[in-house]
Structure 1
Amino acid sequence: MAVRLSAVDTVVSPSFRTFWLHARADGYLADMQAAGQLADADDVGFSGSAVAVHTTADPGAVRATVEIWSRRPLLTGEEPPFDYAVEGEIDLSTGQWCIDESHDSTVQAGTPLPGGAGSYGVRVIAYHEPDEQYRLQIWPARPHH
């Protein structure tokens, strides 16, 4: 059974209608650029150490909740209605995740992952009624050795 280990609520101000959850690993700027290009086409893009989320708000702020799970959580019938849920995998080789566009300085600086460095599954769930909100669920896919 999947167990939610933590949840961080934050407010982000998208940059050109996009925000990124990423690790500050080598080459992360190129990963962010590639993920952003994919998100421009499909709302969410995954590349290397980054996931990009394309928003409808620009300028403005949106709410995002980042949840860390022990394993991949199920989407149940109890889930509020959402616009989309997209899954992918990113490499969080630094053992931390961050969102540069967050209003919270600790989220900008980096938040440690309980499982440490590794490859993580990420699900982005978008809710656009009545306010634009996002849930990013993260779970270990493969640990680094």
Structure 2
Amino acid sequence: MDTVVVPSYTTFCLCSQGVDALRDLAEAGRLASADGVGFSFSAVGVRAATELSRAFVSVETWSRMPSILPDQRPFDFAFEGVVDFPDDCWRIYESLDPPVRLGIELPSGAGPYGARVIAYNHNEILDRFEMAQAGTSEEFAAALDDIRGLAPEAGEQYQIQLWPVGRRG
């Protein structure tokens, strides 16, 4: 599933709805703000390069942990952790796509999942944003327009892979 997100305070979260969802979202967001990616019980938070432009996110579900292949295109970072989804859906509230905000069904149902977040073009967008901040307000506005106008393949991208873990079949 591909979606576009607009980070809230530079962060977006993939999560599941449960009793402690708000607590988990806050914790994942706090950890992501500090470390780039944060894992909480039912949420994974990702710090984007800027909150002023969109990020492209691809969420993949796998039956087992996928490999990072040697010929995979270069990425800026990859973090792995475990999240426990209390319902059978994942969602991203910062998505521009209503189905993603409402929830996409997990093929293996509720339970623990391994999660890997891989970032592409993050560092380049962050560098462009920081350089733009050093310019005049007009230069900053023009640089933001350039960043917002980037084609999806040139903009900030995240690949999130999910796979069931610790289950007996």
If the length of structure 1 is used for normalisation, what is the TM-score? 0.91
Aligned to 2:66: 73
Aligned to 2:148: none
Q: Equivalent residue of 2:92, what SS?
A: coil
Q: Higher strand fraction: Structure 1 or Structure 2?
A: 1
2:105 is the counterpart of 1:112 = yes
If the length of structure 2 is used for normalisation, what is the TM-score? 0.79
Aligned to 1:90: 83
Pairwise CA distance, 1:57: 2.1
Aligned to 1:137: 161
Flag structure 1 segments of 5+ consecutive residues without an equivalent. 1-7
- Aligned equivalents of 2:165, 2:48: Cα separation in 1: 26
Aligned to 2:119: 126
Q: Higher helix fraction: Structure 1 or Structure 2?
A: 2
- Aligned equivalents of 1:39, 1:102: Cα separation in 2: 17
Q: Equivalent residue of 1:52, what SS?
A: strand
- Aligned equivalents of 2:52, 2:166: Cα separation in 1: 37
1:44-59 mapped onto 2 (5 Å cutoff): 44-59=37-52
Structure 1 runs (4+) deviating above 3 angstroms are none
Aligned residues: 137
Provide Cα deviations, 1:57-105, integer angstroms capped at 9, x if missing partner: 2211110000000100000112110000000000111011000000110
- Aligned equivalents of 1:71, 1:108: Cα separation in 2: 25
Pairwise CA distance, 1:142: 2.9
Pairwise CA distance, 1:143: 4.2
- Aligned equivalents of 2:111, 2:51: Cα separation in 1: 33
Q: Equivalent residue of 1:78, what SS?
A: coil
Q: Which moved more, 1:14-23 or 1:34-43?
A: 34-43
Give the RMSD, CA atoms, in angstroms. Answer: 1.2
Pairwise CA distance, 1:42: 0.7
Identity %: 47
- Aligned equivalents of 1:44, 1:23: Cα separation in 2: 17
Aligned to 2:31: 38
Provide Cα deviations, 1:117-136, integer angstroms capped at 9, x if missing partner: 11000000000154210000
Aligned to 1:4: none
Q: Equivalent residue of 1:121, what SS?
A: strand
Provide Cα deviations, 1:19-62, integer angstroms capped at 9, x if missing partner: 00000111111001111111111100000100000000221111
Q: Is this contact kept in 2: 1:117–1:143, CA < 8 A? A: no
